[in-house]
Amino acid sequence: MELKSGMPKILLVAPRIGGVGGIAQHVRQLAKRLKGIGWGVHLLSSETMMLSMRKGVANIEYALASAAKCLGRSYDIAHGHNLPSILALKFVRAEAKLLTLHGVYSRQVSLLHGRLIGLAAELAEKTSLRWVDEVTAVTRLAASYYRKLGIEAKYIPNAIDLSELPTERKRVTTPQITYLGRLSREKGVDLLIEAASMGLKGIVIAGDGPLRPLIEKAARRSLIHYLGSLPRSEALKILAGSDVAVLPSRAEGVSTALLEAMALKIPIVATRVGGNLEVIRNGVDGVLVEPEAEEIYEAIKFLVENRKDAEKLSEKAYQKVLTQYNWERTFSRYLSLYHSLISQRGH
């Protein structure tokens, strides 16, 4: 196929491209690597459109604004991330369109807003995912779920760039039990407050989101240490200095913070949900628990008190992330998919 201008032009569409969130980091890595091989990359997000992203209407505001921005624009490839990006893909002109799902979107909506709205999201998935040429998912679980809906979703895992990991380690308390990420119900941060109320010491939280007032209140009561929304480089130094990394999610794709903890050899406690089940083998490279405060408390307490066991788990986890979740492999799979889609549209 003869491309429009030497190297392909690609539009990357995502709700956010800034901060420590997994989707934002994923898109930034794609953009960096595509630019590195000479592709023309255009980013469209809430930040580039200067949206307010008000609680309750953020996804709707982003979906409508990104769709409007795409009118009249033309690319070789348009690549959106998560279902709120699908409207932009619907209206943009592109030789090939694909959407990456970072978990089962309708289940996340159901958890946050109730079963009725979740069913509406499920219907939207079944309809709108047919607007694109290809769907990928960052977990095998999500890929399987969408295949059952009749959508042929390809599995391409999330990954991390090992070169971005810090050499400096920061401690703010002893022990140091760290959570990095969105402060929301699906992420289970309220369970950490419950665990702290049971007597768990040393919980450190960094991030932002709708549950921030709850976290700030717990910090004022000296139950936890809240560091606010940190630049990613600073947040990673805190993670690197930790005794345990905790991921208390009620729903999850493949958490970038989880992969970063593995790469930094920090022992992990994660919940038995979503992509956590694919990444962590309980008792082999981490500890898996139910999303319940008491189980989280007991697992963290065990790892803090049994450092040799914790080190064995973290070494196994480190080896896994090196071989299975590095960006060189993941980028190669995206690049092959892009070229395949462009080639197909050229015939």
> Could you read off the pLDDT of 16-65 as tens digits, one per residue?
998 777 899 999 999 999 999 999 999 999 999 999 877 667 888 999 99
The encoded tokens of residue 39 equal 């592709």
pLDDT in tens, 131-152: 999 999 999 989 998 998 889 9
Query: What average pLDDT does the segment 91-109 reach?
Result: 88
d(CA 114, CA 122): 12
pLDDT band at 343 (very low <50, low <70, confident <90, very high): confident
C-alpha distances out from residue 242 to 22, 174, 191, Å: 20, 9, 19
Indicate if the alpha-carbon torsion angle 252, 253, 256, 261 is positive or negative. positive
Indicate if the alpha-carbon torsion angle 330, 333, 338, 339 is positive or negative. positive
Nearest by Cα to 178 from 230, 221, 220: 230
Residue 327's CB is within 10 A of a number of other CB atoms, namely 20
Nearest by Cα to 55 from 179, 180, 188, 183: 183
pLDDT band at 120 (very low <50, low <70, confident <90, very high): confident
C-beta of residue 67 within 8 angstroms of C-beta of residue 89:
no
C-alpha distances out from residue 192 to 132, 287, 295, 309, Å: 39, 16, 11, 23
Task: Indicate whether 3 pLDDT > 70.
Answer: no
d(CA 191, CA 185): 9
d(CA 29, CA 24): 9
pLDDT computed for residue 347 by the predictor: 46
The encoded tokens of residue 26 equal 């994923």
Nearest by Cα to 299 from 247, 240, 344, 340: 247
Q: Do 162-324 and 9-159+326-345 fall under one CATH topology?
A: yes
Task: Give me the DSSP letters along 332-344.
Answer: HHHHHHHHHHHHH
The residues, ordered by sequence, that sit 6+ positions from 308 with a Cβ below 8 Å of its Cβ are: none
pLDDT in tens, 50-59: 998 776 678 8
d(CA 211, CA 250): 14
pLDDT in tens, 152-178: 999 999 999 999 899 999 999 999 999
d(CA 285, CA 297): 18
C-beta of residue 170 within 8 angstroms of C-beta of residue 237:
yes
Domain 9-159+326-345: CATH architecture, name and number where available: 3-Layer(aba) Sandwich (3.40)
What ranges do the domains of the chain cover?
Answer: 9-159+326-345, 162-324
Q: For 180, how many CA atoms within 13 A lie in the half-sphere containing its CB?
A: 28
pLDDT band at 5 (very low <50, low <70, confident <90, very high): low
CA 203 to chain centre: 21
Domain 162-324: CATH architecture, name and number where available: 3-Layer(aba) Sandwich (3.40)
